Chains A and B, each alone.
Chain A
Amino acid sequence: MKKEFYNIAKLITKNSKILDVGCGNGELMKYITENISKDIRGIELSKTNVQKCVEKGLTVIEGDAEKDLKQFPDSSFDFVILSQTLQAFLDPENVLNELLRIGKKAIVSIPNFGHWKVRLHLLLKGTMPVTENLPNEWYNTPNLHMCTIKDFENYCKQRNIKINLKNLKFQNLFSELGIFILEK
């Protein structure tokens, strides 16, 4: 399993109620089910991935996070997870609002466009950065709204969203990925 998933799982309280938005093939959900809480379900857009979740015995709803989060009532989950998909939504602001509405806490991870490798790539090569975490070219990337850890922190501050972040400067330069717990 990806290191990111262990780090996300560590943030979750035992036996809490969880929604994994864009749960992929269910790898993280399975780990959480077996180790932290059985009360977890996922939303996933890809039919192939939905099938993989069902094979694992996970509760999954085929759907689109941009349209289908509105069916959940306010604060219906203790944690709502969104792993590395925020930047791919047409309207990430709306999705973030929805996550914070339906979840008491939201765990959001983003690929950090402020990482030194990304910065160096653009500076030296003058082309759009392609890295391990951002493997696509500009013309086929699903990422519509790239941001840096600093951007994301500013966004949350402006909207009075509580965010856990220490040593911003260091993290913005050296983290390829930002994982945050957000609270309204």
Chain B
Amino acid sequence: MSEKDKIKTLLVKKPLKLDCGQTISDFPLAYETYGKLNDKKDNGILVFHALTGDQFASGTNPITKKDGWWNYALGPGKAIDTDKYFVIAANVIGGCMGSFGPSDINPKTKKPYGTNFPVITINDMVNAQYNLLEYFKIEKLFCVVGGSMGGMQVLQFVSNFPNKAHTAIPIACTASHSAQNIALNELGRQSIMADRNWQDGFYEEQNKQPDKGLAVARMAAHITYLSKAGLQEKFGRKLQERDDLKFSFDADFQIESYLRYQGSVFVDRFDANSYLYITRAMDYFDLTKKFGGNLSKAFEKSNTKFFIISFTSDWLYPTSENREIVIALNAIGKNVGFVEITSDKGHDSFLLNVPDFLNTVKNFLNKSYEKIS
């Protein structure tokens, strides 16, 4: 079985008008499913992934051979219990795990799109994934859930399709990307673009890879996913396999070595142009824009029950930004619950083994499902 055979793909024939003005059609949307859709088709959950995630949320990712990115939360008997629910996860468009993305071949030029790929938005990603509901003939999902950029997609989904999900769990996210987060994304993009091998985005035609730039982008981003306390506790000033400082620029400290490792493994699984496109989509995300700055209006038509979760040590998408969503929903009398989970693991908390978080998700889902079924 070749690598590509391990990826399930839906060929979306219906034209999709992107926010940038271009229209795409006949494009591939890679997806994976876990669990079984029941006869009533009322147990469907659509999971949205974050910046560097993909459709392989649970089990072993057949391409990278690593654990699925949401293995702690998703699987048989877990918080999102695939013995009970039918979970669909897709690779976002612009991504690099089988969905339509910048490394695809442009039929006109017979070369990879590179930076000729259209700029996509969170709205485009969600509209593309909506096709999966029709494909699986699901009238209404039980839940849409995701963290970080996945949470933004949850918000966008409910706003676009107000009656297509009974419940929604946006986790550690925002309704409008902050200046700080745009700045951090720009740092990553500039790092990629500064790599000589990037070649204005047409590196694949020249058999080059901007690995150094992409690795530095990942290293910088990785720091933002952790907390100061978490880093201090895990690494402190511990030295890497040495008894004393070497008075050089080697990785003397464990934290340096750890970040270098994170950077080096990332380039093996991720495409630099996808990183540019997806961070751009996050930066462009402002759900209030279409509604004159009034976030409540984005949810006016929805009857979805929201449950919003943030983490105490997340400084990338802090509780205050998550709370803005709660406030907007309360202002129009929508059904919304909110919990801030105590964790020193920073923004990454939603991906890790944080029992309070996992229990909360499990309880919310199971109790809500009792009510609808």
Task: Answer whether A and B are interacting partners.
Answer: yes
B364: Cβ under 8 A from any A Cβ = yes
Interface-side segment among B126-134, B192-200, B264-272, B336-344: B336-344
Q: Are B338 and A41 in contact (CB under 8 A)?
A: no
Of B330, B336, B368, which is in contact with the most chain A CB atoms at under 10 Å from its CB?
B330
**A57/B338 contact (C-beta < 8 A), A51-B360, A71-B327, A72-B331 known:** no
The residues in B between 39 and 73 inclusive whose CB is less than 8 angstroms from any CB of A are none
B129 to chain A, nearest CB (A): 27
B110: Cβ under 8 A from any A Cβ = no
Q: Are A59 and B336 in contact (CB under 8 A)?
A: yes
Interface-side segment among A60-68, A93-101, A130-138, A168-176: A60-68
Q: Which residue of A lies closest to B340 (CB)?
A: A62
Q: In the bound complex, what is the Cα–Cα distance between A73 and B336 (angstroms)?
A: 15
The residues in B between 326 and 373 inclusive whose CB is less than 8 angstroms from any CB of A are 326-327, 330-333, 335-342, 356, 359-360, 363-364, 367-368, 370-371
Q: Are A41 and B335 in contact (CB under 8 A)?
A: yes
Q: In the bound complex, what is the Cα–Cα distance between A56 and B371 (angstroms)?
A: 12
Q: Which residues of B contact A62 (CB under 8 A)?
A: 338-340
Q: Are B338 and A63 in contact (CB under 8 A)?
A: yes
Total B residues in contact with A, Cβ cutoff 8 Å? 25
Q: Are A51 and B331 in contact (CB under 8 A)?
A: no
Q: Which residues of A contact B342 (CB under 8 A)?
A: 47
Q: Which residues of B contact A76 (CB under 8 A)?
A: 333
Q: Are B340 and A57 in contact (CB under 8 A)?
A: no
Q: In the bound complex, what is the Cα–Cα distance between A63 and B330 (angstroms)?
A: 13
- Main secondary structure, interface of A, reads mixed
Q: Which residue of A lies closest to B330 (CB)?
A: A71
- Candidates B331, B333, B339; contact of A54 at CB < 8 Å: B339
**A54/B360 contact (C-beta < 8 A), A71-B330, A72-B330 known:** yes
Q: Are A60 and B337 in contact (CB under 8 A)?
A: yes
Q: Which residues of A contact B356 (CB under 8 A)?
A: 51
**A73/B340 contact (C-beta < 8 A), A54-B360, A54-B364 known:** no
Q: Which residue of A lies closest to B359 (CB)?
A: A51
Q: Are A57 and B363 in contact (CB under 8 A)?
A: yes
A54 to chain B, nearest CB (A): 5
Q: Which residue of B lies closest to A42 (CB)?
A: B337
Interface string of B300-342 (1 = CB under 8 A from A): 0000010000000000000000010011001111011111111
A72 to chain B, nearest CB (A): 6
A142 to chain B, nearest CB (A): 21
Q: Which residues of A contact B341 (CB under 8 A)?
A: 47
Q: In the bound complex, what is the Cα–Cα distance between A63 and B332 (angstroms)?
A: 18
The residues in A between 13 and 61 inclusive whose CB is less than 8 angstroms from any CB of B are 41, 47, 50-51, 54-57, 59-61
A32 to chain B, nearest CB (A): 16
Q: In the bound complex, what is the Cα–Cα distance between A55 and B364 (angstroms)?
A: 7
The residues in A between 69 and 94 inclusive whose CB is less than 8 angstroms from any CB of B are 71-73, 76
Q: Are B337 and A47 in contact (CB under 8 A)?
A: no
9 further A-B contacts with Cβ under 8 Å, apart from A54-B364, A73-B331, are A50-B339, A55-B363, A59-B305, A59-B335, A61-B338, A62-B340, A63-B323, A63-B326, A63-B338
Q: Which residues of A contact B (CB under 8 A)?
A: 41, 47, 50-51, 54-57, 59-63, 71-73, 76
User: 12 A-B Cβ contacts within 8 A?
Assistant: A41-B335, A51-B360, A55-B367, A57-B370, A61-B336, A61-B337, A62-B340, A63-B326, A63-B338, A71-B331, A72-B331, A73-B332
Query: Sorted from nearest, which 8 A-B pairs have the closest CB atoms?
Result: A57-B367, A71-B327, A61-B338, A71-B330, A59-B337, A54-B363, A55-B363, A62-B339
